[in-house]
Amino acid sequence: MGAALAAGLTVGALTLTPAATASPSAAQTNLIVNGDFAAGTEPWWSTPNAPFAVVDGRLCAEVEGGTVNPWDAIVGQDGIPLTAGESYELSFTATASAPLTVRTNVQQAVDPWLTEHSSADPVSDTAEPITHVFTASADHEAAQLAFQVGGGDDAVTFCLDDVSLTGGAEPPVYEPDTGSPVRVNQVGYLTEGPKEGTFVTEGTEALPWTLNDAAGTEVASGTTSPAGVDPISAENVHTFAFSEVEAEGEGYTVTIDGETSEPFSIGGDLYDSLRGDALAYFYHNRSGIEIDPELVGEEYARPAGHVNVAPNQGDDGVTCWAADPCDYTLDAAGGWYDAGDHGKYVVNGGIAAAQLLSNYERTLTAEGADGDALGDGALAVPEQGNGVPDILDEARWQLDFLTSMQVPAGEELAGMAHHKLHDAAWTGLPLLPHEDTQPRELHPPSTAATLNVAAAAAQGARLFEEFDADYAATLLASATTAYEAALANPDLLADPADGTGGGAYSDNDVTDEFYWAAAELYLTTGEDAYLQDVVGSELHNDAEAVFPPGGFSWGSTAALGALSLATVEGGLTDAQLADVRSTLTEAADAVLATVGTGAYGVPLPEDAYVWGSNSQVMNNMIVLATAHDLTGEAAYRDGVLSGLNYLMGLNPLNLSYVTGYGERHAQNQHHRHWANQLDATLPNPPAGSVAGGPNANLEDPIAEELLTGCAPAMCYVDHIESYATNEVTINWNAPLAWLASYADDLGAGSGSDPGNEEPPVCAVSYDSNRWGSGFTSAVSITNTGEAPISPWELTWSFGDNQRITNAWNATVTQSGRDVTARPVNWNGTVAPGGSVSFGFQGTSSGTVADPAAFSLNGGTCAAG
Ligand code: 9MR
Ligand code: 9MR
């Protein structure tokens, strides 16, 4: 067996180990003809932009720059016979004059290009042997080996040698790298919250554990509780807990039997960055607008997608697909791309928008929920400073798209919403939105999509009322029109087979969408007709039907209506409200029971690890969190925190599913822009992007190839091509953002931020320099107390019409005369006795006194 194979094969971040070390039969036929180029270039071929010649015994291609996709420049060989079920070993060495990623496919040589093997390997100027093992799924008389080297801006020389493809290889066995058997929440534990972990071991006797601080000093110790074989991992596990430890700090570890966990924190502000990061996902994935480097950084900036700039076709005049033509076009520019693909789907878009709206609405209804953290100036969106909470600005981007998908008045099916808008054919990865050349097309209206528009627009209407009454009225009109249209067309179901170029999102039961829409319309309008539709629904107050044990989702939306009914003041009688709330707590109790059944404490039944299982987990966590908001019962909070533990690394893969959070986190999610695994010049997903998660149904080729036989919670691979376990989507990041708000609002665990328990003791100096029409001001905050103030937030009101135009050393936002200043990255803490200074300039007319009253983190600061 070759050295490269024995050492394990690297496919991106994966390690494949051969099943056995038995050596393949001695005389293996190389299916590649002239793989050492001793006979010149025949029968190799290349695309015209990559002419080749044999140089020093190797085949070298001069690849032109300026192409877009990997397959825009190829060196290949055809005519390779493959047999279904047989395993093959592919080897080659490659060099490149500048670093590139070669995508190597063994595939059908004609459409539909059935791919038997696809790998992406980095190539540099040093020849490294590369080996891959794969199993053919079908017989091929003449398959093709294609080295795809396009997509680069600059010309490059790409050379190959020693190419071989031999049959009879041992099929690869994928062994996930699960690191330490001691599993914890790698982000950390809230100071006053529960603190639990697991230990994977064959042993059945209790074992001692120690908790050490960052300096390695033992802080606590105890013994594990053997928990038997855990069904979601099929591994024997122990649990341990150290909830009584409340000393805040970073770099804690737990050691058991000589094995040490990843480091984690204990503290009260573990999730404050996640709130904004999880919401940033939406701006990153906006369609129809340039993504501004000032807001996202250079590597994530990109031109506007689908705005009719070549080669895009534009979403501003989209017509119906040929299979179901229409005589109008829709201007459906804007909105969010759904996921790793560039489709825009109303069904999925509705729940995602609604969960952003609910994230905001919770700040109006739940005690201790922090509206400022979602407010104007708080998030990285271009609408900062427009007087509207930033989270509503983000939701509006999608609400406008959703309502734009309605069939115009006067047409048949007027008011119904088209189910989706996407490419005519699936595009390959990587591909930035503005580079998509596919025609865009509307797919037929559906009842489910229409009710998504009704529900989300109705909720949007009541939340925008305060900020933009005209817009609120427009939304409500769309919502009521949609609801009427759905009542008139109650069974227009999307076709489950309509999955070319975009996902199907088909749903054969829309009673839940009707319930959700009626609930939102009732809460917004107070109209009795909607209430009658709510209480008349077969779902009303049926806990299991409204809150399915496996979690609510885009296809099961009644819970969204029920959660709103339980939390938003809306004219239900006391008895009705009590019933709705007890339905919710009944569902929450069922989720808690699930949490209690497994060693990993996951709020998901073991048979529910489906496509997007992490969102199912998160939506169950939202049920628990809402029950906690309403009742204050700590057990519900603890259930939510248990779910967060699972997402952040306390799981059978010892992996945080959220990019940037935890020592070992997912980073190769399926996305056409964040495709670093395929193209080193592209970024990984930004922090705060949650992967779909384990999917026991193995619904993509990578999952099928690597994960067969996996235990449910281990059916996941951090590989960009595993879209059925590792995609990112708006409807998965929306619950993450909701939960990040909830968790951040918990502060130390009891619901109040530890830094804010005592109002800070402080002094503020304010000096200004004014002239006719302008001013500059210098502000300094001094901490005159004993505790650090972190993060700080200073607010005041101007006495006149001064307008701040720009600021330094702080992020300053102004709404009318009210001003809020917040730290920039490096000056978030004012140490005891220390101070922080910042300044700004602006325009004014006349001369008035400087502001004299300042409020810091809700407390009053002496002005001096
Ligand atoms: O990207 C995938 C493409 O190469 C395949 O041809 C197509 C059909 O199986 O599936 C694509 O994957 C989709 C992904 O890009 C977006 N999410 C859903 C995936 C398929 O359902
Ligand atoms: O999230 C969807 C999941 O529930 C379905 O099982 C799956 C297959 O139909 O499709 C998922 O949605 C994908 C959509 O069809 C296309 N964009 C990406 C979505 C997430 O993978």
**Ligand 1: does its nearest atom lie under 6 Å from the Cβ of 174?**
no
- Cα distances (Å, whole numbers) of residue 792 to 57, 377, 436, 764: 66, 15, 44, 12
Query: Given the CA of residue 723, which atom of ligand 2 is nearest to it?
Result: 21
Band of residue 830 on the pLDDT scale cut at 50, 70, 90? confident
Question: Residue with the nearest Cα to atom 11 of ligand 1?
Answer: 426
Which whole number is the average pLDDT over 816-834? 81
Parallel, antiparallel or unpaired: strands 225-230 and 140-148: unpaired
Kindly report, residue by residue over 654-686, the tens digit of the pLDDT.
Answer: 999 999 999 999 999 999 999 999 999 999 999
* Domains in the chain: boundaries: 19-171, 188-267, 272-746, 762-863
Band of residue 436 on the pLDDT scale cut at 50, 70, 90? very high
Query: Given the CA of residue 428, which atom of ligand 1 is nearest to it?
Result: 4
Q: Which residue has the tokens 């971040």?
A: 13
544 Cα–ligand 2 center, Å: 24
> Which pLDDT score is estimated for 758?
62
Which ligand sits nearest to residue 348's alpha carbon? 2
Mutate to test the pocket of ligand 2, among 281, 341, 505, 506 (most ligand atoms within 8 A of CB): 505
Angle between helix 558-567 and helix 574-597 axes, rounded to 10 deg? 120
- Cα distances (Å, whole numbers) of residue 227 to 189, 195, 284: 22, 17, 42
Q: Which residues lie closer than 8 Å to 375 by C-beta, 6 or more apart?
A: 389, 390, 391
CA separation for the pair 281, 687 (Å, rounded) = 9
Which whole number is the average pLDDT over 510-538? 98
Query: Given the CA of residue 724, which atom of ligand 2 is nearest to it?
Result: 21
**pLDDT higher for 262 or 844?**
262
Phi, psi of 644 (to 5 degrees): -65, -40
> Which pLDDT score is estimated for 4?
30
> Which pLDDT score is estimated for 859?
81
What percent of the chain shows pLDDT beyond 90? 83
Which whole number is the average pLDDT over 773-796? 86
> Which pLDDT score is estimated for 22?
38
> Which pLDDT score is estimated for 828?
72
Kindly report, residue by residue over 49-59, the tens digit of the pLDDT.
Answer: 999 999 999 99
> Which pLDDT score is estimated for 829?
75
Question: Residue with the nearest Cα to atom 4 of ligand 2?
Answer: 611
Question: Residue with the nearest Cα to atom 7 of ligand 1?
Answer: 426
According to CATH, the topology of domain 19-171 is Jelly Rolls (2.60.120)
Judge if 272-746 and 762-863 fold alike in CATH terms.
Answer: no
> Which pLDDT score is estimated for 818?
87
692 Cα–ligand 2 center, Å: 10
Which whole number is the average pLDDT over 103-123? 92
Per 3-state DSSP, what percentage of the chain is helix, strand, and coil (rounded to 5)? 25, 25, 45
> Which pLDDT score is estimated for 781?
94
Mutate to test the pocket of ligand 1, among 114, 344, 426, 722 (most ligand atoms within 8 A of CB): 426
- Cα distances (Å, whole numbers) of residue 246 to 194, 223, 255, 425, 819: 10, 19, 18, 55, 36
> Which pLDDT score is estimated for 12?
42
297 Cα–ligand 2 center, Å: 29
> Which pLDDT score is estimated for 59?
98
Which whole number is the average pLDDT over 198-212? 97
Kindly report, residue by residue over 583-619, the tens digit of the pLDDT.
Answer: 999 999 999 999 999 999 999 999 999 999 999 999 9
Which ligand sits nearest to residue 671's alpha carbon? 1
> Which pLDDT score is estimated for 786?
80
Query: Given the CA of residue 502, which atom of ligand 2 is nearest to it?
Result: 16
Query: Do residues 633 and 627 touch, judged by C-beta distance below 8 A?
Result: yes
724 Cα–ligand 2 center, Å: 8
Parallel, antiparallel or unpaired: strands 854-856 and 859-863: antiparallel
Kindly report, residue by residue over 609-623, the tens digit of the pLDDT.
Answer: 999 999 999 999 999
Question: Residue with the nearest Cα to atom 7 of ligand 2?
Answer: 611
Which whole number is the average pLDDT over 325-351? 98
Mean pLDDT (the chain) is 93
Query: Given the CA of residue 700, which atom of ligand 1 is nearest to it?
Result: 9
Q: Is the pLDDT of residue 398 over 80?
A: yes
Kindly report, residue by residue over 555-574, the tens digit of the pLDDT.
Answer: 999 999 999 999 998 889 99
**Ligand 1: does its nearest atom lie under 6 Å from the Cβ of 339?**
yes
Which ligand sits nearest to residue 692's alpha carbon? 2
> Which pLDDT score is estimated for 16?
55
Query: Do residues 422 and 440 touch, judged by C-beta distance below 8 A?
Result: yes
> Which pLDDT score is estimated for 814?
85
> Which pLDDT score is estimated for 861?
85
> Which pLDDT score is estimated for 812?
86
426 Cα–ligand 1 center, Å: 7
What percent of the chain shows pLDDT beyond 70? 95
> Which pLDDT score is estimated for 1?
28
CA separation for the pair 453, 461 (Å, rounded) = 12
What burial class does residue 789 get, using C-beta atoms within 10 Å of its C-beta: 0-12 exposed, 13-18 middle, 19+ buried? buried
205 Cα–ligand 2 center, Å: 43
272-746: CATH class: mainly alpha
Quick one: residue 332, left, alpha or beta (phi over 0 = left, psi -120 to 50 = alpha)? alpha
Q: Give the dihedral sign, CA 690/694/697/700.
A: positive
**What number of other Cβ atoms are within 10 A of residue 586's Cβ?**
16
Q: Is the pLDDT of residue 8 over 60?
A: no
Catalytic residues: 341, 670, 718, 727
Q: Is the pLDDT of residue 3 over 80?
A: no
Q: Answer whether 0.85 is exceeded by the pTM.
A: no
Band of residue 825 on the pLDDT scale cut at 50, 70, 90? low
Kindly report, residue by residue over 132-156, the tens digit of the pLDDT.
Answer: 999 999 999 999 999 999 999 999 9
Stated as kind and residue range, the H or E segment containing 91 is: strand 87-96
CA separation for the pair 440, 315 (Å, rounded) = 7
Q: Structurally, what CATH architecture does the domain formed by 188-267 represent?
A: Sandwich (2.60)
Q: Which of 8-12, 156-160, 513-517 has the lowest mean pLDDT?
A: 8-12
DSSP category for residue 617: H
Which whole number is the average pLDDT over 152-162? 96
CA separation for the pair 311, 107 (Å, rounded) = 27
Kindly report, residue by residue over 797-813, the tens digit of the pLDDT.
Answer: 888 888 898 888 888 88
728 Cα–ligand 2 center, Å: 10
Which residues form the pocket of ligand 2, taking CB atoms under 6 Å from any ligand atom? 338-339, 341, 343, 503-505, 611-612, 723, 727, 729
Q: Is the pLDDT of residue 26 over 80?
A: no
> Which pLDDT score is estimated for 343?
98
Query: Given the CA of residue 340, which atom of ligand 1 is nearest to it?
Result: 16
Q: Of the CATH numbers 3.30.365.10, 3.40.50.300, 3.30.379.10, 2.60.40.290, which one belongs to the domain with range 762-863?
A: 2.60.40.290
